[in-house]
Chain A
Amino acid sequence: MRGAEGRKRAKKAVGSGAGSTAGAGSTAGAGRSGAGLDARLVVRRGAFRLDVGLRVVPGEVVALLGPNGAGKTTALRALAGLEPLADGYLRLDGAALERTPPESRPVGVVFQDYLLFPHLTALDNVAFGPRCQGASKAEARALAAEWLGRMGLAEHAGAKPRRLSGGQAQRVALARALATSPRLLLLDEPLAALDARTRLDVRAQLRRHLADFEAVAVLVTHDPLDAMVLADRLVVIEDGQVVQEGTPGDIARHPRTDYIAHLVGLNLYKGVADRHTVRLDAGPAITTTEDLTGPVFVTFPPSAVTLYGERPTGVSARNLWRCAVAGMETHGDQIRADLTGELPLAADLTTVAAAELGLHTGAEVWAAVKATQTHAYPA
């Protein structure tokens, strides 16, 4: 993570081009026979305006990824009917739902902090939905017991939520949402309330359950790892807009906004390419191996940067910039240095290298990147 300062700097480099949407994600076949989710959600809340389009086919898991306040949860609430649409539409398996009250939508929600009813046992929490749908008490409980069994929670059926661990509560919440046989499963930060160790387990289990789920699943997260592990497709939302969508691999390789670049740990710049030279909006040029013309993005990983205390001799002077250290933090067994200067960038180096360079905040360094380590793609 490059920290807030790094983000701010890179935003300058990326410029306002962040708004260009990839458009690649509009999954082929989403419209076929109307199955799945097809929605355009417009929600206004004071000065904030959410306007996102979503198409998800049955069996597909889509993650809405974005920074806090981007409107992910608002989008989810709009899908559930808890937030009225100012405009747009919402079709699920061909049926228009935008005017349907939440209790009549075939939607299941796993809330961020689960919201298990504290006065009911795990079994009665799961049986709540089927009961509301008209099942008898016995039927609802039998169904709930079946779901808890499937989640490996049979022995916790009689426990009140406060006696469940975080991971167990998460699975009860999932069972409760699935017990109503929803055609659209919504998960709001499903792993955020868990500690790091539980998270690993629960993520793996959740991935299995989502893989088994045959209808549409939409999850909201600000954690790129959760998104990439759990989802088939990512939709990145910033400031209420979709800024990029695609498969996790595609997004990791070709970030189009500073936020995404930051998430996947890349230095990202926007510029105009003329063959192998990309003139950045912010000033300097980067030499790349790709042969492109027109507006492009250029990325390179922090590990591709080599730092020198003095201007190096015998190094190709092309991708060489004079910088100053703005900050440093340990990053695994590496040190990540935030650099300002000709080209703001993040660089990774070993502790030994940092010591040999006498790196400290304010130190002058030269940063070099080989053209083969950069990656350019059309903006």
Chain B
Amino acid sequence: MTVGSVDGSGAGSGRDAEGPGRGRGLISPRRGPVPVPLLVPALVGLAFLVLPLVALLVRAPWSDLPDQLTSPEVWQALRLSLLCATAATVVSLVLGVPLAWLLARVDFPGRGFVRALVTLPLVLPPVVGGVALLMALGRNGVVGQWLESWFGVSLPFTTAGVVVAEAFVAMPFLVISVEGTLRAADPRYEEAATTLGASRFTAFRRVTLPLIAPGIAAGAVLAWARALGEFGATITFAGNFPGRTQTMPLAVYLALQSDPEAAIALSLVLLTVSIAVLAGLRDRWMSAS
């Protein structure tokens, strides 16, 4: 039958031209041609997503790349980015997993409203998030003034501020992901644990947590990736000080104005990290679930 299909595609005019008799020898039934009104936009969409990344590779200063990437500025920004994204992920885990549990397992009044509040940073423009953080934790902020006067702690324009900004934007991803996993997990395992004498916390720690570990890991990776790419809230709340608050996305944006080649090089680094995350997700969690 290969001959038939080669002929068909070789005719060029498309599969529509094939008579019903042409497919007789095929072992698997044919579904018919892909409708053009779906195929064309699909291909345009694919090109739209892939083309910019290809352009990035095409225009990359491959010969200068080693120099660009070994410059201390790049390493500084990359180190800071990885560090802050990881710290923000840890913060999100410590606070977000219990929050997800609360939303999934405890029936309290106004739960739907609380869930809406949690998801708000997902849709909020990050710059607005940054302004809101300044109003809350800035030197004269609602909480920030007390942090300043009682503990001498000031978050804005510090590395800790970067972590705060990134966690603010990234934590909802983790909460939503973990809550979904919790809802899908059978709550009767927790019941079984309590009939064996486990308190609710022990049941969570020894039974629920291991059961939802894959969901937590997936949520953590999502949050980490989101934190790594954070721009708006970070630059608004933490500013743009090299070595202190200038993360990779900020460095890329600034470099683009002065040294476009450096911007491309930095972008390639972030692209590589993104692909690595995606690959990790696919292998470990996407296919597993």
Chain A residues with a Cβ under 8 A of chain B: 80-82, 101-105, 107-109, 111, 115, 117-119, 128-129, 132-133, 176-177, 180
Given contacts A115-B188, A128-B206, contact A108 B195 (CB under 8 A): yes
Q: How far is the CA of A34 from the CA of B120 in the complex (A)?
A: 57
State how many angstroms separate the Cβ of B153 from the closest Cβ of chain A: 40
A residues near B196, Cβ cutoff 8 Å: 103, 108, 128-129, 132, 176-177, 180
**Of the residues A82, A117, A118, A119, contact of B195 by C-beta under 8 Å:** A82
Residues 144-157 of chain B, each 1 if its beta carbon lies under 8 Å from chain A, else 0: 00000000000000
A116 to chain B, nearest CB (A): 8
Residues of B contacting A104 in the complex (Cβ-Cβ under 8 angstroms): 197
A109 engages B198 (CB within 8 Å): no
A111 to B206, CA, bound (A): 19
Mark interface residues in B200-211 (1 if CB within 8 Å of A CB, else 0): 101000110011
Which A residue's beta carbon lies closest to that of B202?
A132
Q: A119-B210, A119-B211 are contacts. A128–B188 as well, Cβ < 8 Å?
A: no
Binding site for A on B (CB under 8 A): 186, 188-189, 191-200, 202, 206-207, 210-211
B residues near A102, Cβ cutoff 8 Å = 191, 194-195
A133, B197: Cβ atoms under 8 Å?
yes
Q: Using Cβ atoms and an 8 Å threshold, which residues of chain B touch A133? A: 197
Known contacts A117-B207, A128-B206, A132-B202, A109 near B192 by CB under 8 Å: yes
Beyond the given pairs A117-B210, A132-B197, 15 more chain A to chain B contacts, judged by CB atoms under 8 angstroms and listed by A's residue number, are A80-B195, A81-B194, A102-B191, A102-B194, A103-B197, A104-B197, A111-B188, A115-B191, A115-B192, A118-B211, A128-B196, A129-B197, A132-B196, A132-B198, A132-B202
Q: How far is the CA of A132 from the CA of B202 in the complex (A)?
A: 8
Residues of B within 8 A of A101 (CB): 194
Closest to B213 in A: A119
17 contacts between A and B (CB under 8 A): A81-B194, A81-B195, A102-B191, A111-B192, A115-B188, A115-B189, A117-B189, A117-B207, A117-B211, A119-B210, A119-B211, A128-B196, A128-B198, A132-B193, A176-B196, A180-B196, A180-B197
4 nearest A-B pairs in the assembled complex, by CB-CB distance: A132-B197, A129-B196, A115-B192, A119-B210
State whether A107 and B202 are in contact (beta carbons under 8 Å apart), knowing that A118-B211, A119-B211 are contacts in the complex: no
B107 to chain A, nearest CB (A): 13
Q: Which residues of B contact A109 (CB under 8 A)?
A: 192, 195
Residues of B within 8 A of A176 (CB): 196
Return chain A residues, CB-CB under 8 Å to B200: 103
A-B contact count (CB 8 A): 58
Distance between B221 CB and nearest chain A CB, rounded to angstroms:
20
CB distance from A103 to the nearest CB of B (A): 5
Contact of A103 with B198 in the complex, beta carbons under 8 Å: yes
Q: Do residues A103 and B199 form an inter-chain contact, with CB atoms below 8 A?
A: yes
**How far is B196's CA from A108's CA once the two chains are assembled, in angstroms?**
7
Q: Which residue of A lies closest to B191 (CB)?
A: A82
Complex interface: chain A residues within 8 A of B211 (CB): 117-119
Closest to B186 in A: A115
A176 CA to B199 CA, complexed, in Å: 17
Q: Which residue of chain B is the closest to A133 with respect to CB atoms?
A: B197
Output the least CB separation between B190 and chain A (Å): 10
CB distance from A217 to the nearest CB of B (A): 15
Residue of B nearest to A114 (CB): B192
Residue in A102, A107, A118 whose Cβ sees the most chain B Cβ within 10 Å: A102
CA distance A102 to B190 in the complex (A): 11
| Nearest CB in chain B: distance from A111 CB, A | 6
Distance A354 CA – B278 CA, assembled complex (angstroms): 69
Query: Which residues of B lie under 8 Å from residue A105 when comparing CB positions?
Result: 195
Q: Which residues of A contact B193 (CB under 8 A)?
A: 117, 128, 132
- Residue among B188, B191, B195, B207 with most chain A CB within 10 A: B195
**How far apart sit A197 and B210, CA to CA, in the bound complex (Å)?**
34
A173 — nearest CB in chain B belongs to which residue?
Answer: B192
Which residue on chain B has the smallest CB distance to residue A112? B188
**Which residues from chain B contact A128 at a C-beta distance below 8 Å?**
193, 196, 198, 206
Shortest CB-to-CB span from B243 to chain A, Å, is: 43
Minimal beta-carbon separation of A66 from chain B (angstroms): 21
A118 to B191 CA separation, bound complex (whole angstroms): 14
Instruction: Return chain A residues, CB-CB under 8 Å to B188.
Output: 111, 115
Closest to A179 in B: B196
Nearest A residue to B199 by beta-carbon distance?
A103
A104 to B200, CA, bound (A): 12
Report the separation of the CA atoms of residues A101 and B188 in the bound assembly, to the nearest whole angstrom: 16
Query: Which residue on A lies nearest to B198, using beta carbons?
Result: A132
Q: How far is the CA of A314 from the CA of B158 in the complex (A)?
A: 108
Find chain A residues with CB under 8 A from B207 CB.
Answer: 117
Cα–Cα, bound, A176→B210 (Å): 19
Return chain A residues, CB-CB under 8 Å to B194: 81-82, 101-103
Tell me the complex Cα distance, A128–B195, Å: 11
Q: Which residues of the other chain, B, contact A115 by a CB distance below 8 angstroms?
A: 186, 188-189, 191-192
When C-beta atoms are compared, the residue in chain A nearest to B206 turns out to be: A128
Q: Determine the residue in chain B with the shortest Cβ distance to A108.
A: B195
Q: What chain B residues lie within 8 Å of A118 (beta carbons)? A: 211
CA distance A80 to B192 in the complex (A): 10
Closest to B195 in A: A109
| Measured CA separation A131–B157 after assembly (Å) | 48
Which B residues are CB-close (under 8 A) to A117? Answer: 189, 192-193, 207, 210-211
Residue from the set B186, B188, B196, B206 with the largest chain A CB neighbour count within 10 Å: B196
Chain A residues positioned under 8 Å from B210 (CB to CB) = 117, 119
